[in-house]
Amino acid sequence: MKKNKKPNIPAFLLWEYDLETFNYDKSYKIVIERILQMGTINDWKEMMGYYSLEKILETIEWSAQLDKRDKDFSKFFLNSDMLYAV
């Protein structure tokens, strides 16, 4: 799958950044955290199409913004078929 130039993430999730110059690759942890916290199912799908599952799971483990419940849910949801059934 060819990687898009940048993911189609709603601007409100990254409201404090200039999205014209925002580096989605260098700042992947911020993007992934925001989507996991406040994103829609479509945002999750966009994230999965742009970032590897390994990178997303690494960010979940690293994150101080996500509490244990959010981390557990995110890992469960990402490893289930539910994301693709919707």
Handedness of CA 43, 55, 74, 30 (dihedral sign): negative
Tokens of 33: 């955290």
Task: Indicate the pTM of the whole model.
Answer: 0.88
Q: Residue range 16-20: average pLDDT? A: 94
Say how many CA atoms lie within 13 Å of 37 toward its Cβ: 17
Tens of pLDDT, residues 32-63: 999 999 999 999 999 999 999 999 999 999 99
For the chain, the three-class secondary structure string (H helix, E strand, C coil) is CCCCCCCCCCHHHHCCCCCCCCCCCCCHHHHHHHHHHHCCHHHHHHHHHHCCHHHHHHHHHHCCCCCHHHHHHHHHHHCCCHHHHC
